[in-house]
Amino acid sequence: APKSALSPQKYYPPDFDPAKIPKLKLPKDRQYVVRLMAPFNMRCKTCGEYIYKGKKFNARKETVQNEVYLGLPIFRFYIKCTRCLAEITFKTDPENTDYTMEHGATRNFQAEKLLEEEEKRMQKEREEEELNNPMKVLENRTKDSKLEMEVLENLQELKELNQRQANVDFEAMLKQYKELEEEQRRKEQE
């Protein structure tokens, strides 16, 4: 048979049995060294050093045991503080497409995230309320339109106020100031 260019020729002895090849036994929580960036701003609990989002680290990565989200494995990362070398760990959070701080540091600037969560919760509550009660739908609609009207009225008031203040005659003010200055100069000369 002619040699094929695609498959390399290999010799298999007659007593070869692929089932007898020993499997490579790797532990489930094996750690890998990976290069990653800090996913958020954090502050070390040991020395108070700020670690900013985007700072690069050589981290150890492992799969978290007994934790899965919809079949997705959750990973834990170990990094060291840039100043005191204290260990900081955080995990992936596929549910919120984010990361969660585990220990060694505190996460900074979370006010925006908390606000978003609160807003989502309020929206969910309102939707559940409206689902069961058709009158609540009407109430909420009237409340919304009333709020919108109030906002428009306030905006109109502010516009009118700005227009009133815009009618100040700066030329007359300057003229008056010049006259006062000249009068003072005359008094000084006298």
Give the start-to-end residue ranges of the domains of the chain.
Answer: 32-109, 112-166
For residues 131 and 129, what is the distance between their CA atoms, to the nearest angstrom? 5
Q: Which of 73, 74, 77, 72 is nearest to 37 (CA)?
A: 77
For residues 79 and 55, what is the distance between their CA atoms, to the nearest angstrom? 11
For residues 66 and 9, what is the distance between their CA atoms, to the nearest angstrom? 45
Q: Are the C-beta atoms of residues 43 and 84 closer than 8 Å to each other? A: no
For residues 45 and 55, what is the distance between their CA atoms, to the nearest angstrom? 17
pLDDT in tens, the chain (190 residues): 555 555 678 888 999 999 999 888 888 778 999 999 999 999 999 998 999 999 999 999 999 988 899 999 999 999 999 999 999 999 999 998 899 999 999 988 777 778 888 899 998 988 888 888 888 888 888 999 999 999 999 999 998 888 877 666 777 888 899 999 999 999 999 8
For residues 100 and 1, what is the distance between their CA atoms, to the nearest angstrom? 60
- Residue 137: what pLDDT? 83
For residues 13 and 40, what is the distance between their CA atoms, to the nearest angstrom? 56
For residues 60 and 160, what is the distance between their CA atoms, to the nearest angstrom? 62
- Residue 132: what pLDDT? 82
- Residue 150: what pLDDT? 94
For residues 67 and 69, what is the distance between their CA atoms, to the nearest angstrom? 7
Q: Are the C-beta atoms of residues 43 and 60 closer than 8 Å to each other? A: no
The token pair that represents 100 in the structure block:
């969660």
Distance of CA 128 to the CA centre of its chain: 27
